[in-house]
Structure 1
């Protein structure tokens, strides 16, 4: 499938930024120079530049032009079965974490959720909490977390802008968190994800699927998280 012209231009400019051809804090070539280089319409070029500004590779400075932006990433250390909350990771990196609750409700349990959460045969509902996590007011990830309704019904009454692990420790006396089952992949941002994460449609996102249990192996929650790949990195 042939990609739209503006995507092709975005990818080439991004490649030049990553390779150092366009250096951080330096102005990129003028619009006229880029039009000549890529042989595209002004509308196509501006759409490509808009996408790179949205994705954090470029920034426009009033009265000066468009410059390559220095990007900071959150760093999460990946260790066997280690559980680390977003707020802790952000604070360790010198960022100010915040949370927007997008949804919190009761939904019917799917076969996957019943298996992951080890629900009994007569349990058919789970709590679904969807949150946007930000660092210094920059969107980093969308969290989709699922809990047994029978065990954690009170979560819907809590302040879900707070770190979930703090709520679980204080309200439910959970303390020893374990992560026996996690997978990390890459997906492309869809229209809804791009809106919340301030990135272009098709931008690569980390997809982290993880099961969190207590020390006895009893499931606490299952999560599917979508993380902007150039704002967060996993250190092994």
Structure 2
């Protein structure tokens, strides 16, 4: 460790090196605080500052009641990208859509599609089997009857539109906020009550700015970083 740097920074750099070198792999838990304090010869205050900054930078993740775990490195995505999850994250691994439930509902925000009951497909989107995003996808089953079956069975919405000759997405409008997950969302995403999540409402538009789908997305902030190019 660099003996000129502040003590907490030296501890932070050592732990970071273990993560980036693979000595501590994704999913591994850090040793206990007493073990690390003894190893580095530092106080708990010093150790906690180092761990806190590594959590803020996405290298570590605190799990309430369990400890601190090495997190998956966040995926970088441009906020203006018009792609489905299968295309956007194929470089990260196999993308699957686990359908949780399907029902007809009314939703004020989703009424941009039509002022009538819409089909809502709640699904957990995973990369290599690991939860990434919870999505509530709203579609007009009367306007897109050939899409309903495949997507309800776990197919990609964008790919199904293309395969069935449906209207093609040309643009998307998004609103983004940061908050905390509900108990149900935490169970599916594997995060704690104090772990922040991205909340994105997305309207997918076809030619003539015609809305063809509305999605409500919940993603842990440590899993994705968004950039915006203007």
Q: Given the two structures, how large is their TM-score scaled by the length of structure 1?
A: 0.68
1:214 Cα deviation (Å)? 0.3
Q: Residues 38 and 220 of structure 1: is their aligned pair in 2 closer, same or farther, counting only changes over 3 Å? A: same
Q: Which one of the candidate residues 103, 106, 118 is aligned to 1:105?
A: 103
Give 2:89's aligned residue.
90
Q: Which residue of 2 aligns with 1:23?
A: 16
Match of 1:77 in 2: 78
Question: Are residues 56 and 128 of structure 1, via their aligned partners in 2, closer, same or farther at CA, if it must alter by over 3 Å?
Answer: farther
Indicate the residue corresponding to 2:126 in structure 1: 134
Task: Choose the corresponding residue for 1:191, options 183, 188, 197.
Answer: 183
- Name 2:164's counterpart in structure 1: 171
Structure 1 window deviating more from structure 2 (123-132 vs 217-226): it is: 123-132
Match of 1:161 in 2: 154
Consecutive unaligned residues of structure 2, counting only runs of 5 or more, are: 1-7, 25-29, 46-54
Give SS of 2:184's match.
helix
Alignment partners' CA distance in 2, 1:170 and 1:209: 25
Over 3 Å counting, the alpha-carbon distance change for 1:101 and 1:148 in structure 2 is same
Pick from 150, 153, 156 the counterpart of residue 142 of structure 2: 150
Tell me the C-alpha RMSD between the 2 structures.
3.5
Q: Deviation at 1:67?
A: 8.1
Superposed CA deviations along residues 124-178 of structure 1, whole A, max 9, x for unmatched, are 2101011111112111100111112321244432254221111112224222431
Structure-2 residue corresponding to 1:63: none
1:57 maps to 60
Q: TM-score, normalised by structure 2?
A: 0.70
